Amino acid sequence: MTISPSPLPLDFLHQHYPSATEQQWNDWHWQIKHSITSLEQLQKIIHLSDKEIQPISRLPIRITPYYASLMAKDNASQAIRRCVVPTADELMVSPGESADPLSEKHDSPVPNIVHRYPDRVLFLVTGFCSTYCRYCTRSHAVAKDQCHTHTSGWQQGFEYIKAHPQIRDVLISGGDALTMSDARIEFLLSNLRQIPHVEIIRIGTKVPAVLPQRITQTLLDVLKSYHPLWMSLHFTHPDEITPEVAQACTQLANAGVPLGSQTVLLKGINDEVTTMKNLVHALLKIRVRPYYLYQCDPILGSTHFRTPVTKGLEIIKGLRGFTSGYAIPHYVIDAPNGGGKIPLLPEYYIGREDNQVILENYEGKIFTYADSV
């Protein structure tokens, strides 16, 4: 099953990779092999601004040719470009920022496992991503070989899960697990499926957004063998929802994989109600349920990405009642120091008066509800 390239990526292919064929462009291995990994390569594709032209070392550059084809050549403030092109702002460290703001290392009883919630664990299986987001929560670990990524290095993780029968849910992340080979993915899933108390398996990935060519029939056949299997996809902006991405998500949904989206709220990128509404509507059309809207984690050098919390509440208020409930994600802060996800909502519950609950609806109108005591 081939992901058909749309006109914009095809033009990019002919301009920047004239010796490559469409068949090569559609090969996810080719995409990774030819990814942009330096400022010198970026300069051949876009006109770098003064902030972009300064070298950054905190997180390496990696952008698939496909995703690079979506970047604006002359607009440094374009959403997709800002998500993946480093700037000098990343070197500015503000109070409250840290390398591991969620304290995942503290909750890691064995290598590759983070056990924060009673009935589920995070299984970090690779440190590699096909595209590195500049606001990545794990920028301290990805691309730095800190995961025991050989299959033998996963054994402690399997054994830990086996030894804790309360674990019913395993979230696979990294890095990005879908950058691994089909054989490694199948090895991972088959070992987890052999543990009787593991009820569901989830995969967290941005691959469908940045490398839709990875969603091959062979991969789909592997995934279909290990249901119930869910996917948490990472989408940031409506411009990511291209025909290729729509095709990839449709194939995953047709394979019986429920799809949810996790979006990070980012200043100047998706922090407007209209932008977020366009994104969630586009996601529903390709059968991806908006699930989480994350307040940006305070990683080192992230001030230029983080909005006030009031902005997230404003967006939720601008969605609630003005679009279908399926389109409204949970706005959460993943609390620093291992506090876990804490949901935030606008104030719809005003209070009580005698046996009446006082409520405010999406239009700002006040209503009362007779509440039994």
- The verdict on 126 and 46 lying in the same domain is no
Work out the average pLDDT over 359-369.
91
Work out the average pLDDT over 215-237.
98
Q: Which pLDDT does position 107 carry in this prediction?
A: 87
Work out the average pLDDT over 52-62.
81
Q: Which pLDDT does position 150 carry in this prediction?
A: 63
Closest CA to 268 of 236, 301, 234, 235: 236
**Among 25-29, 52-56, 80-84, 333-337, which stretch is predicted with the lowest mean pLDDT?**
52-56
Give the end of a domain, one of 73, 89, 105.
89
3-class SS of residue 186 = helix
* DSSP notation for 90-137: GG---TT-BSSTT-TTTT-SSTTEEEEETTEEEEE--S--SS--TT-T
Verify cis geometry, omega within 30 degrees of 0, for the bond prior to 175.
yes
Residues 98-134 pLDDT 10s? 888 888 888 899 999 999 999 999 999 999 999 999 9
Going across the sheet that includes 356-360, the strands are: 349-353, 356-360, 366-370
| Position 269 in a domain | yes
What DSSP element (H or E) covers 297? Answer: none
Work out the average pLDDT over 72-88.
96
Which pTM does this prediction carry? 0.93
Considering the chain, what percentage of its residues have pLDDT values greater than 90? 79
> What's the pLDDT band for 355 if we cut at 50, 70, 90?
confident
Work out the average pLDDT over 289-313.
95
| Position 286 in a domain | yes
Q: Identify which has the larger pLDDT, 354 or 140.
A: 354
Identify the CATH number of the domain in which residue 330 sits.
Answer: 3.20.20.70
- The verdict on 139 and 265 lying in the same domain is yes
| Position 206 in a domain | yes
Q: Is it the case that residue 247 has pLDDT exceeding 70? A: yes
End-to-end Cα distance, the chain? 59
Residues 85-105 pLDDT 10s? 999 999 899 998 888 888 888
Distance CA 285, CA 308 (A): 30
Verify cis geometry, omega within 30 degrees of 0, for the bond prior to 228.
yes
Closest CA to 49 of 15, 7, 81: 81
Work out the average pLDDT over 268-277.
98
Query: For the purposes of burial, counting CB atoms within 10 Å of the CB of 111, is it exposed (0-12), middle (13-18) or buried (19 or more)?
Result: middle
3-class SS of residue 295 = strand
- The verdict on 21 and 77 lying in the same domain is yes
**Tokens coding 116:** 């924060």
- The verdict on 184 and 142 lying in the same domain is yes
Work out the average pLDDT over 63-71.
97
Q: Is it the case that residue 18 has pLDDT exceeding 80? A: yes
Yes or no: say if 72 and 46 are a contact pair by the CB < 8 Å rule. yes
Residues 146-166 pLDDT 10s? 555 566 789 999 999 999 999
| Position 278 in a domain | yes
| Position 98 in a domain | no
Among positive and negative, which fits the CA dihedral 53, 305, 294, 164? positive
- The verdict on 178 and 298 lying in the same domain is yes
Which residues does the annotation mark as catalytic?
116-117, 120, 129, 133, 136, 138, 297, 334, 341
Work out the average pLDDT over 284-313.
95
- The verdict on 189 and 75 lying in the same domain is no
Q: Which pLDDT does position 306 carry in this prediction?
A: 96
- The verdict on 157 and 39 lying in the same domain is no
Considering the chain, what percentage of its residues have pLDDT values greater than 70? 95
| Position 372 in a domain | no
- The verdict on 84 and 202 lying in the same domain is no
Q: Which pLDDT does position 336 carry in this prediction?
A: 85
| Position 164 in a domain | yes
- The verdict on 241 and 334 lying in the same domain is yes
Range of the domain at 63: 7-89
Name, in order, each residue with C-beta under 8 angstroms of 50's C-beta and a sequence gap of 6 or more: none
- The verdict on 118 and 155 lying in the same domain is yes
Residue 71 phi/psi, 5-degree rounding, is -80, 145
Q: What are the C-alpha distances in Å from 221 to residues 3, 203, 292, 342?
A: 16, 16, 28, 36
Work out the average pLDDT over 43-56.
88
Give the end of a domain, one of 89, 121, 138.
89
Side chain identity at residue 277, one-letter code: K
Q: Is it the case that residue 4 has pLDDT exceeding 80? A: no
Q: How many domains does the chain have?
A: 2
Q: Is it the case that residue 82 has pLDDT exceeding 90? A: yes
Q: Is it the case that residue 143 has pLDDT exceeding 80? A: no
DSSP letter, residue 7 = H
- The verdict on 84 and 122 lying in the same domain is no
Q: Is it the case that residue 258 has pLDDT exceeding 60? A: yes
**Among 209-223, 237-251, 327-341, which stretch is predicted with the lowest mean pLDDT?**
327-341
Q: Which pLDDT does position 163 carry in this prediction?
A: 98
- Please state, rounded to an integer, the average pLDDT across all residues of the chain: 93
Work out the average pLDDT over 234-257.
97
Distance CA 236, CA 265 (A): 8
CB-facing half-sphere around the CA of 200: CA atoms within 13 A: 13
Q: Is it the case that residue 1 has pLDDT exceeding 60? A: no
Crossing angle of helices 273-285 and 309-319, rounded to 10°: 60
| Position 371 in a domain | no
Q: Which pLDDT does position 138 carry in this prediction?
A: 86
Closest CA to 94 of 299, 268, 334, 335: 299
Work out the average pLDDT over 236-249.
97
Q: What are the C-alpha distances in Å from 232 to residues 162, 171, 201, 214?
A: 24, 9, 11, 16
Q: Which pLDDT does position 99 carry in this prediction?
A: 86
Distance CA 295, CA 265 (A): 5
**Beta bridge partners of residue 369, listed in sequence order:** 357
Distance CA 69, CA 370 (A): 56
CB-facing half-sphere around the CA of 211: CA atoms within 13 A: 27
Q: Which pLDDT does position 142 carry in this prediction?
A: 79
- The verdict on 28 and 163 lying in the same domain is no
